[in-house]
Chain A
Amino acid sequence: MDAETRTEAAVDARRPGPARAIGEVLLEVKDVTLRFGGVRALSGVSFDIRRGEIRAIIGPNGAGKSSMLNVINGFYQPQEGQITFKGEVLQKMRPHFAAKNGIARTFQNIALFKGMSTLDNVMTGRMLKMHSTWFEQMLYMGRAKREEIEHRRFCEEIIDFLEIQAHRHTPVGKLPYGLQKRVELARALAAEPEILLLDEPMAGMNVEEKEDMCRFILDVNDEFGTTIALIEHDMGVVMDISDRVVVLDYGRKLADGTPDAVRANQDVIDAYLGVSH
């Protein structure tokens, strides 16, 4: 069985499941424009992400996909437009607000804490759930110790789930690329996010690694009901696992819809085949 049919089999098996009910709009970006000096990274982009879905963002290089995720979790502040998250209208998202309200992400160029072990990276991902005081931590007593153990248990579950047990005490800088991507996903999951933003989670991976990553993403979506927005260049993967796809090109939205509709869209075909505008 090759990679594609295998992921397709996984998708088919899960599609009609009742757990996969796609709900109301969780996050909506509206008319977002983002400029860097003279460069328009995004021009008036609007789309929404529904609770429980896997939403893909695709587009050629430099289309503004990463910028879009950066706007969503408040890392970039758009000049125009607004974001509605869980019914709350925000002119600007702030990273800390996003983290606190259940938005987690991974980066295109892995952004792990390289000097820390896998376990410490994942534990750090959980830090907003820990509440012990300074004093308790200084003495490593009471709530500080309890929390370390409780959250360690939770993090170990994620580590098991992503099959990186053998590397829990290894400094992540020493892990191979594919595993680092997994640790980054683990760190994001440790926050128990409502919405997970994945920036090219499979870039640079070989076929087996991609397959594993696909399976993890689907499992996260299935088992925890986490909403996922993902950027991916591999069309096969996108068409297989996503519920809806938004296509960006030169900072504009080109198309938005189901994988089949997007695949059939003439503008999208032109953009990908490089027809001049």
Chain B
Amino acid sequence: MLYREAGQFKTSYAADQAIFPIRQDQIAIGLMAAVAVLGVPALANEYFLETIFVPFLVFAMAALGLNILTGYCGQLSLGTGGFMACGAFFSYKLATAFPELHIVIVFLLAGLGTAGVGVLFGLPSLRIKGFYLAVATLAAQFFLVWMFNKFGWWTNYSSSGVISAPPREVLPGLFITGTEAGPVTKYLFLLVFVALLALVAKNLVRSRIGRTWMAIRDMDIAAEIIGIRPLWAKLSAFAVSSFYIGIAGALWAFVYTGSVEALAFEINRSFQVLFMIIIGGLGSILGSFLGAAFIVLLPILLNNGMLAIDPTISTALVSHIEFMIFGALIVFFLIVEPHGLARLWQIAKEKLRLWPFPY
């Protein structure tokens, strides 16, 4: 089928403003949804679901959050790990203190709590920008992880080193956390939950609020003169971003790994999510997903690929090569294509639209 919009005339602004205005895109999205809901659980084995699809969705959520703050609002943050930890520990406290509370409510409340923390640590952004703001968020990162490690209250004074997420069901009989939770249930729950929140994010960025964020990102002086309040715009970006990142942290601890530990949310995690949005595309919802997929898949492919070539290769060497490839890619995307994979995808579509007659 040819990728064309010829013959599809938009007769209203509403049609032009749809998320997928071109019919082929709508069909493609429908197909993708069908594959994601029906195909993946049927075809992928448990190992693939647990090691690829579940972490991909959790990371996509974190990347969405960071992209709102950094990609859309232009505020560089290295505190992602710390905010994820907030989400994880807030959920743990809520889930254990109120065992009756539905787990989705727990996640959302943990997200709201993290949003509050995000606003608090976002306050310096009113005075400082760029590199200096990144340093301030770094302080948040270290402080938060330290705090969760330091005070036993967060883990209900548990004596064992590993705190397991309590088992909870999303619908009667369908466990998504705890040992009884199966990978298919987890995957489908994450798919629906992340897709819905991604839709909300998309709606925000295409509405007034999103334009407010982008205006602050692109030219804060002009934004102010139009009547945008920088204070409000930046703090709201911190809030929404932290909400998503907090939920990602909760999903990480409860659904993906099943254990709540601050170690999972060290500074490395912050950089990992930052790399996702750089590679995937700053200021793009799609890019958050592409970046997450890329960074989840690359190590696995690399590992298997190199083992296939040389079965005696050491794991240390593999991980070194992985680092080098990541480094090179980050530099490439930062310099050549700051809009990342999402932009490359868009260029490919534009080429396809004109193919085979480029002029």
| A-to-B contact residues, CB < 8 Å | 73, 75, 95-96, 98-100, 104-105, 107, 111-116, 120, 123-125, 127-128, 130, 132, 134, 137-140, 144-145, 147-149, 152-153, 156, 187, 191
Interface size class, chain B: 20 to 34
Min Cβ gap A218→B in Å is 24
B11 within 8 A of A: no
Point out the residues of chain A lying under 8 angstroms from B214, CB to CB.
113, 115-116, 120, 124
CB contact list, B280-294 vs A, under 8 A: 283
Instruction: Provide the main secondary structure of the chain B interface.
Output: helix
- The listed residue with most B CB atoms (<10 A of its CB), out of A105, A127, A145, A153, is A127
Within 8 A of A (CB), among B220-253: 221-229
Q: Is the CB of B226 within 8 A of A127?
A: yes
> In the complex the two chains form, is B209's CB within 8 Å of A137's CB?
yes
**Min distance, Cβ B167 to any Cβ of chain A, angstroms:** 31
Query: How far, in angstroms, from A38 to B265 measured CA to CA in the complex?
Result: 51
Contact across chains for A144 and B207 when beta carbons are under 8 A apart:
yes
**Proximity bits, B180-224, A CB within 8 Å = 1, else 0:** 000000000000000000001001101111011011011101111
Other than the given A73-B225, A140-B203, A187-B226, 7 more pairs (CB < 8 A) read A75-B221, A113-B215, A127-B212, A137-B204, A139-B203, A148-B206, A191-B227
Instruction: Give every chain B residue within 8 A of A187 (Cβ-Cβ).
Output: 226
- In the complex, what residues of A have CB within 8 A of residue B218's CB? 112-116
Roughly how many angstroms separate A73 CA and B224 CA in the complex, as a whole number? 10
Q: Are A113 and B222 in contact (CB under 8 A)?
A: yes
Partner of B224, one of A96, A144, A149: A96
With contacts A98-B225, A100-B227, A113-B219 taken as known, whether A132 is within 8 angstroms of B212 at the C-beta atoms is no
Q: Among the listed A111, A148, A153, which residue makes an inter-chain contact with B221, where contact means beta carbons less than 8 Å apart? A: A111
> Are the C-beta atoms of A99 and B217 separated by less than 8 Å?
no
Which of chain B's residues has its CB closest to A168's CB?
B16
Contact A138 B222 (CB under 8 A): no
Tell whether B14 is near chain A: CB-to-CB under 8 Å: yes
Interchain CB contact under 8 A, A128 and B227:
yes
Instruction: Contact check, A138 vs B204: say whether CB atoms are below 8 A apart.
Output: yes
Asked if B200 and A124 sit within 8 Å, CB to CB, the answer is no
